[in-house]
Chain A
Amino acid sequence: MSIGLALKAFVAVLSSKETAQRIRQVFQGGDSPSGSTDPAKSLEHSSATTSESVKPAVVAFQSSRSDALTLLSTLQREARFLDLVGESLDSYDDAQVGAAAREVIRDCRKSLDRMFAISSLDDREEGTTCKAEDTCALRTRIIGNNSGTNNSGVIVHRGWKASQCAVPVWTGAGEDQLVLAPVEIEVGSHANR
């Protein structure tokens, strides 16, 4: 896990000044780099005066396990994601799969939007003709052969971006960190149905 994280951090530092700053803070023992750094969402138009002091302080909670595990656990809790992808599709027809998937997909979307505020990376519609400029490969992927001087292309995918990363903070410890969903046991009067 730590090598993966280190790699991720390495890439992130190179691609984003802000991430670099946050990671620097971690090494300096500063505030948590958790995504909940700027939880307040503005209601006002961008023209409104903003002063630095309005921003709430970082609430210093720190997960003791990878956010990836907590993300899976959240999607299972709120949308039953693991139940859906874990089940064999062989014995069901498309309508039955569809009925279940519709619910799960809708709930997944809601959870992902809340935690990551996902939107298109490029505002332009798909099909728009544009210049295929040589930019960072993380942001733009050029498909096909760019021959000659005419470097115009067509947007076939608008890309995705997250505006935040606000996965719940996990407060458990030790072995439990690999638990994605608890075992459910029904007791009492409900049990003998």
Chain B
Amino acid sequence: MQIAKYSIGIDLGTTNTLLAFAEMRVDQPRVDVLSIPQVVAPGQIESLESLPSFVYLPSDSDISGGMLAMPGRTAKEPVVGSYARQISAEQPDRVVAAAKSWLCHHQVDRHAAILPWNASKEVAKISPVEASRLILQHVVAAWSAAFPAAPLAEQYVTLTVPASFDMAARELTREAAISAGLPEDFVLLEEPQAAVYHWLNRKGDLWRRELTEGDLLLVVDVGGGTTDLTLVRVTQESGELVLRRLAVGNHLLVGGDNMDLTLAHFAATKFAEKGTKLNAWQAVSLWHACRKAKESLLSASDKKTESISVLGRGSKLIGGTVTVDIGRDEVHRLLADGFFAPSSLDDRPARDAASGFQELGLPFEVDSAITRHIAAFLSDNHEPNQSSALATHVLLNGGVFKSALLREKLADVLASWHTANERPKLLGGVDDLDRAVACGAAFYGWSKHHGGIRIRGGTARSYYLGVETAGLAIPGIPRPLQALCVVPFAMEEGTELDVPGREVGLVVGRQVRFRFFASANRKNDKVGTTLRDWDETELQETAPMELTFSAEETPQEGYVPVRFHSRVSELGVFELWCNSTKDDQRWKLEFNVREDS
């Protein structure tokens, strides 16, 4: 195979998307971020380093006006980027936001046109997969315009996904990416790992001085809408240091946007105390003002208070401006203590037990304290042969950590779990918090080609097929379900396994459907292990797997005895096959990401 000219890393974020690239055939990789031309206002296009992951569905008048078109994109097509984000508050009915969080939400049909969620009927909605495709397509077009001689489909492309994405969400991301023009053999890389690769690139060979055998590295990646946790163990194999990804956290829907909103609510009550009533437009402005003020409020300064202003509307800017003073210590209490609450290692995130009814929508976290989620994550992944579950090193990622105060706050809580004279060491700086993932992904592609260090890990979860037990049917009572482990934890990329155990008869001519489960903490189950009962917190149901026989395959008996065979490709693609035990026939099970009927 011909070597690609460039290694490209794409960070498809919940709120921002970036593309970084490095030339493949050089000894010292130089990673650059591509500027992405996008509509910033009707009739105005600007090249910006990041593409906000927002999709605006144009109205009829937008289309006839033609002012949202771009070279290479007609006015009819949805508008991706800065302008879409800008008007998301004014026109929530026409803007798709956080499509990525919907991709891993297994209670909805991710191929169905459901976004913007709750939008009115006049809007032609799109699916989470389509929204992701549109965002990626925009990035691909930007690349093609900048590098017409090096088509993206011929480059080595790495796309990042949250470590917490399950197999089905990864498969959907792959589908969106390939239809957007990524090469068939692109690689999916977990975001926290990409952040580690970026750190490795910045350190060069010196990283071996910072990490030694036995160290445990915790990666905390707080994005706009999500928080992603990963543990990496440093081990030694034949004299070489090896990085092994031990565990990844669950998908946590809490992030920087929650902090902005919290601050905005707090400021709004301050306005109310002063007797200033904010209208809807001012409330949106306040949110933006808080986003901007957050950084200065959370930086170290001697100033006791900081003012937050909402500018007057119309051309009466000065006259209409309203201001409140917010105390620095109040904000610290609110954000630092709210999101990085002092807690003990035994604390667990609060679960919502009060309400049995929840509106379908994104399952936002009930407990916003990231520290409690970290405590649970570390305790759940305590390796039996290790004396401590605690991390020796911490790598922070995400724009939230530009604030030195939040970095210190989190470091303090983590340190409080250690004995007095120990303290986890913070790795990395604050320079590239927004682009580390994209740059790390581009470096990963280069590094893979040049035989550099790789983080090993295999699958982040173990996976189970739900198999109904045989036995007499009792009316009204479903047959007991057993969970058959088909992918053990940490199954390496590029390996395949026969699933031992009894044969399963597939009824031909009908659709075959298996419920499918994932577990982040059952690490000792082997392939073929059968669970008879389990705790709901242990096994999480994801999209079911299905198979439909074509007619010519129908054997006379009416059913085919099969055994399962699982495979994880070099690229991290998971496949589950049903191999006939009678002949060489085999069929592949596919995820069904549509709603349960």
Residues of A participating in the B interface, judged by any CB pair closer than 8 Å: 36, 39-44, 48-51, 53-54, 56-57, 59-61, 70, 73-74, 77, 80, 83-84, 86-87, 89, 91-92, 96-97, 99-104, 106-107, 114, 166-172, 176, 182, 186, 190, 193
- Chain B residues near A80: list those with CB within 8 A: 311, 317
> Cβ of A44 and Cβ of B30 under 8 Å apart?
yes
- Chain A residues near B30: list those with CB within 8 A: 42-44, 48-50, 54
Closest to B31 in A: A43
> Cβ of B47 and Cβ of A166 under 8 Å apart?
yes
Chain B 313-334: CB-based contact to A (< 8 A → 1; otherwise 0): 0111111010100000000000
Give the interface segment out of B33-41, B222-230, B567-575. B33-41
Q: Which of B31, B33, B42, B46 contacts A169 (CB 8 A)?
A: B46
Residues of B participating in the A interface, judged by any CB pair closer than 8 Å: 5, 20-21, 23, 26-35, 37, 40-49, 67, 69-71, 145-148, 279-281, 289, 292, 307, 309, 311-312, 314-319, 321, 323, 432, 435, 439
> Cβ of B47 and Cβ of A36 under 8 Å apart?
yes
> Cβ of B45 and Cβ of A168 under 8 Å apart?
yes
**Least CB distance, A53 to chain B, in whole angstroms:** 7
Roughly how many angstroms separate A41 CA and B70 CA in the complex, as a whole number?
23
Interface centre among A43, A89, A114, A190 (most CB of B within 10 A): A43
Closest to A177 in B: B43
Q: Known contacts A87-B316, A100-B318: does B311 contact A172 (CB below 8 Å)?
A: no
Sorted from nearest, which 6 A-B pairs have the closest CB atoms? A39-B35, A56-B146, A168-B46, A83-B317, A172-B43, A40-B32
> Cβ of A99 and Cβ of B321 under 8 Å apart?
yes
Q: Known contacts A87-B317, A102-B309: does B439 contact A171 (CB below 8 Å)?
A: no
- Chain B residues near A61: list those with CB within 8 A: 37, 45, 71
- Chain B residues near A100: list those with CB within 8 A: 309, 311-312, 317-318, 321
> Cβ of B35 and Cβ of A36 under 8 Å apart?
yes
Q: Which of B41, B147, B317, B432 contacts A56 (CB 8 A)?
A: B147
> Cβ of B148 and Cβ of A43 under 8 Å apart?
no
Roughly how many angstroms separate A145 CA and B538 CA in the complex, as a whole number?
83
> Cβ of B23 and Cβ of A42 under 8 Å apart?
no
Q: Known contacts A166-B46, A168-B40: does B32 contact A43 (CB below 8 Å)?
A: yes
**Least CB distance, A32 to chain B, in whole angstroms:** 11
Roughly how many angstroms separate A59 CA and B36 CA in the complex, as a whole number?
10
Q: Which of B280, B309, B319 contacts A103 (CB 8 A)?
A: B309
- Chain A residues near B146: list those with CB within 8 A: 39, 56-57, 59
Roughly how many angstroms separate A176 CA and B123 CA in the complex, as a whole number?
29
> Cβ of B319 and Cβ of A87 under 8 Å apart?
yes
- Chain B residues near A167: list those with CB within 8 A: 46
> Cβ of A57 and Cβ of B319 under 8 Å apart?
no
Roughly how many angstroms separate A182 CA and B61 CA in the complex, as a whole number?
15
> Cβ of A171 and Cβ of B69 under 8 Å apart?
yes
> Cβ of B43 and Cβ of A84 under 8 Å apart?
no
Roughly how many angstroms separate A103 CA and B293 CA in the complex, as a whole number?
10
> Cβ of A54 and Cβ of B44 under 8 Å apart?
no
Q: Known contacts A48-B28, A80-B311, A104-B311: does B43 contact A39 (CB below 8 Å)?
A: no
Q: Which of B23, B49, B315, B323 contacts A51 (CB 8 A)?
A: B23
> Cβ of A92 and Cβ of B46 under 8 Å apart?
no
Q: Which of B67, B71, B145, B307 contacts A99 (CB 8 A)?
A: B307
Q: Known contacts A43-B435, A80-B311, A87-B317: does B44 contact A168 (CB below 8 Å)?
A: yes
Roughly how many angstroms separate A70 CA and B564 CA in the complex, as a whole number?
62
> Cβ of A99 and Cβ of B323 under 8 Å apart?
yes
Interface centre among B42, B43, B145 (most CB of A within 10 A): B43
**Least CB distance, A3 to chain B, in whole angstroms:** 26
- Chain B residues near A49: list those with CB within 8 A: 26-28, 30
> Cβ of A172 and Cβ of B67 under 8 Å apart?
yes
Closest to A58 in B: B146
Q: Which of B69, B279, B318 contacts A92 (CB 8 A)?
A: B318
> Cβ of A190 and Cβ of B311 under 8 Å apart?
no
> Cβ of B34 and Cβ of A39 under 8 Å apart?
yes
Q: Known contacts A48-B28, A49-B28, A166-B47: does B33 contact A40 (CB below 8 Å)?
A: yes
- Chain A residues near B31: list those with CB within 8 A: 43-44
> Cβ of A70 and Cβ of B33 under 8 Å apart?
no
**Least CB distance, A33 to chain B, in whole angstroms:** 15
> Cβ of B145 and Cβ of A59 under 8 Å apart?
yes
Roughly how many angstroms separate A34 CA and B43 CA in the complex, as a whole number?
16
> Cβ of B45 and Cβ of A96 under 8 Å apart?
no
> Cβ of B34 and Cβ of A56 under 8 Å apart?
yes
Roughly how many angstroms separate A77 CA and B34 CA in the complex, as a whole number?
24
- Chain B residues near A36: list those with CB within 8 A: 35, 37, 47
Roughly how many angstroms separate A186 CA and B316 CA in the complex, as a whole number?
17
**Least CB distance, B458 to chain A, in whole angstroms:** 30
- Chain A residues near B49: list those with CB within 8 A: 41
> Cβ of A77 and Cβ of B321 under 8 Å apart?
no
Roughly how many angstroms separate A102 CA and B30 CA in the complex, as a whole number?
39
> Cβ of A54 and Cβ of B42 under 8 Å apart?
no
Closest to B198 in A: A43
Closest to A114 in B: B48
- Chain A residues near B47: list those with CB within 8 A: 36, 39, 59, 166
16 A-B contact pairs sorted by A residue (CB < 8 Å): A49-B26, A49-B27, A54-B23, A54-B32, A56-B147, A57-B148, A59-B145, A61-B45, A80-B317, A96-B319, A100-B309, A101-B318, A168-B44, A168-B46, A170-B44, A172-B67
